[in-house]
Amino acid sequence: MMLSRYTHENLISLLGYCNEGGEMILVYEHASNGSLDRHLSSTTLTWSQRIRICHDAAKGLCYLHEDKGNHRVLHRDIKSSNILLDENWKAKVSDIGLAKVGPSNMYTFFIATTVGTLGYIDPMYLRMGFLTKESDVYSFGVVLFEVLCGRLCFDKSNAHSGNIVHIWKQRYEENKLDEIVFKDNRVPALDQSSLEVFSEIAFQCLQESREKRPKMSEVVEKLEIALKSQELADFIQKEYEEIVKAAVPPLIYISEELKVLLSKGVILNGGKTVINYSA
């Protein structure tokens, strides 16, 4: 029960367990909105919500990776179905039953029998059996692209479709993200600045070389930047549309120029009205 010691707002909490009469039962907190994989193509989630979910999950995984005295934890099965959402859409990493707990000074584990889910497993871990924190980072990168594209990394309805992560990576390298990014007329578009930051960190997570993959702490930082950029874009779209239309000289809608202007504040009506938004 060592893993029960690890508590964080972005990890599903183990509430209790029972081992009586030949029955072994674990009791976890309930996540009323289910798992992330069920909401990838949802039109009710905004891009801010989607990025916030990723940011939450990244913080949970980062916590597991941190050196905690004598031990460190590797999840080994990061995927969208193992990211649960509570009633407020806060993301919590779950299913750490396959997690590997090892000494804090041990950075690589050799696993004779690979565990995890195909499509999300680090290729190096799959081929060689060497497990590191970067193996989790790769899996999380797959989840980020799933959120970006609004679909799973494989097609359950077609056994011959296979994994499409390599296609997503190729589209990124070809600067053709527009072909794969989730779009729906009922969901306001993803802010360009947010897209650039989000897609870049997702792509870095999927690097073949483990040395080129970011730490989870870096992923958390980049997703926070992407989230703030998207929240600012949403705020501008909702509150400042008329200001943009009436501006003289005209400003490009949701441009970097406007973001800088609003972050510093705008004074209207002879100084009687102050409008400010700080990301």
Which one is catalytic: 37, 56, 67, 77? Answer: 77
Cα separation, 129 vs 171, whole angstroms: 29
Question: In sequence order, what are the residues at sequence separation of 6 or more whose Cβ sits closer than 8 angstroms to the Cβ of residue 221?
Answer: none
Q: Could you confirm whether 122 is annotated as catalytic?
A: no
Q: Please report where in the chains the tokens 């000289």 appear, as a residue.
A: 249
Report the C-alpha dihedral over residues 112, 113, 116, 122, rounded to 10 degrees.
Answer: 40
Q: What is the DSSP letter of 80?
A: G
Number of H helices, E strands in the chain: 8, 10
Exposed, middle or buried: residue 112 (CB in 10 Å: 0-12, 13-18, 19+)? exposed
- Residue 237 three-state SS: helix
Q: Which residues are annotated as catalytic?
A: 77
